[in-house]
Amino acid sequence: MTQTLSLAGVLERALTDTAASGRQVAVVSLTLDYGVSGDPTTMAVSAHVERATRSLVFVHGEALLPDGRRAATASGVFRVLDV
C-alpha cells in the first residue's frame, strides 16, 4: 500500500510537532481552512504557539505555495499529556 501525502496530514504534523516541544500531546481540536490547491511536497509549512497553559497548547499554522499563495491555514488545540 502506498501512502499519499495530504495537506491536512502535513499541517496536522507541523502543529503537533510545534505543540509538543519535548512533551507528549494529543489533539483536542483541529480546524483547516483551505485556499488554493497545490502539491503539498512543494509547500512551505510553518506553525507557532499562540498560547499555552499548563494543560493546553493553542497552535496556528499555514501552508504556502512557492509563489506565496496560501494553500491552507490550520488552528489546533492540544492537551499536554505529561502534566
The residue type of 60 is: H
Rounded Cα–Cα distance for residues 27 and 36 (Å) = 25
pLDDT at 70 over 50: yes
pLDDT tens string 7-44 = 999 999 999 999 999 999 999 999 999 999 988 889 99
Assess contact for 76 and 18: CB atoms under 8 A. Answer: no
Rounded Cα–Cα distance for residues 28 and 48 (Å) = 17
Structural domains of the chain sorted by starting position, each given as residue range(s) with its CATH number in brackets: 7-80 (3.10.129.10)
Q: What integer pLDDT is reported at residue 82 of this predicted model?
A: 82
The residue type of 75 is: S
- What is the CA angle 15-44-27, rounded to 5? 10
